Structure 1
Amino acid sequence: MDWKIELIPVPVTDVDRAKAFYQQVGFNADHDHRVHEGLRFVQLTPSGSACSIVIGEGITDMAPGTQQIQVVVADAEAARRQLLDAGIDASEVDVQPWGSFVHFGDPDGNRWSLQAIESRPNG
């Protein structure tokens, strides 16, 4: 049986600021719907991803700035250039034996790691 992660909550203080930031990064804004007072659901998806993030009001009890997410990319240098070209502050590429990493954060301090790996083990 396949288990597929489809939606990860990201806690933010200002939904519109966070939405604009993630669109600046290159995420697609799939949904922005106020279900009712106290519940706003904003779904954003990175290009090529089967998993989205959700920000909004009434979404999670997590404190803003506490989420950490790792994403696999094909090329760490290219991913870093894309972030910098979009005006996003990104770390230098950190090369490790298990992959190359680029880090950035959103306006609330939620942390993102982009990992480029040569190959994945089968299984």
Structure 2
Amino acid sequence: MQWTLEVVIVPVSDLDASIAFYRDKVGFHLDHDTRNEHMHVAQLTPPGSGCSIVLGDLPSQRAMEPGSLKGVQLVVADAAAAHAELQSRGVSVSDITVFDDRDGGTFFGFDDPDGNAWAIQEIKARAERPLIPEGYTAPWA
């Protein structure tokens, strides 16, 4: 049996501000922003990822305090380029740290406006072997 992680709920205090941050500053694709008299839920996906984040005001999403999510990890093929891109978009990022010279040992991070903490890991092999092939379109998209 295969198990796939496809959604991570990110607890936030201001949905509209968080949508703008993840879409406009971090560069995630806004898959949907659903509002009605019962709820407001948005799903955003990092480019090249099979896993999305969900922001919302449903009971399961309110179970965590805004800013309480720590250590969610994104992977990029080039940490320096990702670092520079986020900085150019106005995201406050930590310094790049090399914990190990082998591929996978380079990291930096950022926090969203609520304090949810993200780690960015460089795995250079992703440039040649992405987990999701470029140009792939999900059957439901």
| TM-score normalised according to structure 2 size | 0.79
Of 64, 67, 71, 1:65 maps to: 67
Match of 2:114 in 1: 108
Q: Could you tell me which runs of 5 or more consecutive residues in structure 2 were left unpaired when the two chains were aligned.
A: 127-141
Match of 2:18 in 1: 18
What RMSD, in angstroms, separates the aligned Cα atoms of the two structures?
Answer: 1.6
Q: TM-score, structure 1 length as denominator?
A: 0.90
Distance in 1 separating the partners of 2:86 and 2:108: 10
Q: Which runs of 5+ in 1 are unaligned?
A: none
> Which of these residues, 101, 117, 121, is aligned with residue 123 of structure 2?
117
* Separation in 1, partners of 2:5, 2:36: 23
Question: Counterpart of 1:43 in 2: which secondary structure?
Answer: strand
Determine helix, strand or coil for the equivalent of 1:47.
coil
Q: What residue in structure 2 maps to residue 86 of structure 1? A: 89
Contact 1:99–1:118 under 8 Å retained in 2: no
- The answer for the alignment partner of 2:138 in structure 1 is none
Structure whose residues are more often strand by fraction: 1
Identity of aligned pairs, percent? 47
The question of 1:3 aligning with 2:3 is answered yes
Per-residue CA deviations over 1:22-64 (Å, capped at 9, x if unaligned) read 0121001101102542x21100001111100000111411111
The 3 A distance-change label for structure 1 pair 96 and 119 is farther
